[in-house]
Amino acid sequence: MLLRMYLRWAERQGFKTEMYDYQPGEEAGIKSATFLVIGQYAFGYLSSEIGVHRLVRISPFDQAKRRHTSFASVYVSPEIDDSIEVNIKPEDIRIDTYRSSGKGGQHVNTTDSAVRITHIPTGLVANCQNERSQHKNKEKAMSMLRSKIYEFELEKKREVTKKIEDSKLDIDFGSQIRSYVLQPYRMIKDHRTKLEIGDVDRVLDGDLRPLMQAYLRMRRGEKKS
């Protein structure tokens, strides 16, 4: 549901998207997904989405039609261009290949062309399985990894109280940034800005503008103070 919401948001903005990695869940849903968003201020807008999201609904997978609560973690990093140098030592990375798992785009096949690159010193990971060519998947995964390392190092240098990894909270009660309640009532609430929206369907269909703007205004106010 979150994946569809963000893809619809990008479409509403006139942004382009490209799926890099898609891992289906063991029984249903998605285990993880990674995609690129191309558009003006895309990272600035989407930075408001970093954190844990909570969903309350009647599960379509429960025959007893009971109410279930589930959580998903969202992480966003900016893409950096080639003018910014990020030095990655060959001995600091581990490259694994695996079989593409479908829904990653029309070019996904069943060969071992998917690539996962792990940066050992930081533990940062980048996956890509969208291309037929293992070489192209490696190239895109390295680009993502460079972006993640760059953002990671920026946060260290700034010595901010909340580093970017701190926003990836434990997926549990009390840690969420936003709740999407579909049962027993219908309401979306951002726990940072306290903004509540009753038109749940509109938000889940990609209209995130009020939520994003409220968060960005709050952040601007914090910086001024």
State the average pLDDT for the chain. 86
Q: What is the CA radius of gyration of the chain?
A: 19
pLDDT digits (tens, 9 = 90+) for 49-59: 999 999 999 88
CA dist., res. 204 & res. 1, Å (int): 7
> pTM for the whole thing?
0.70
Complete domains list, the chain, with CATH: 2-75+168-224 (3.30.70.1660), 90-158 (3.30.160.20)
What burial class does residue 222 get, using C-beta atoms within 10 Å of its C-beta: 0-12 exposed, 13-18 middle, 19+ buried?
exposed
Report phi then psi at 183, rounded to 5: -150, 140
Q: Where are the alpha helices (DSSP H) in the chain?
A: 2-13, 42-46, 134-158, 200-204, 209-224
pLDDT digits (tens, 9 = 90+) for 92-113: 999 999 887 655 454 455 567 8
First to last CA, the chain: 36
pLDDT digits (tens, 9 = 90+) for 125-155: 999 998 888 999 999 999 999 999 988 887 7
Q: Kindly state the tokens that stand for 217.
A: 């205004």
**Which residues on adjacent β-strands are paired with residue 55?**
70, 180
- pLDDT of 174 reads 59
Residue 11 CB partners (closer than 8 Å, separation 6+): 17, 206
CA dist., res. 115 & res. 161, Å (int): 34
Report phi then psi at 209, rounded to 5: -55, -50
Note whether 167 and 49 are within 8 A (CB).
no
CA dist., res. 70 & res. 224, Å (int): 36
pLDDT digits (tens, 9 = 90+) for 183-209: 999 999 999 999 999 999 999 999 999
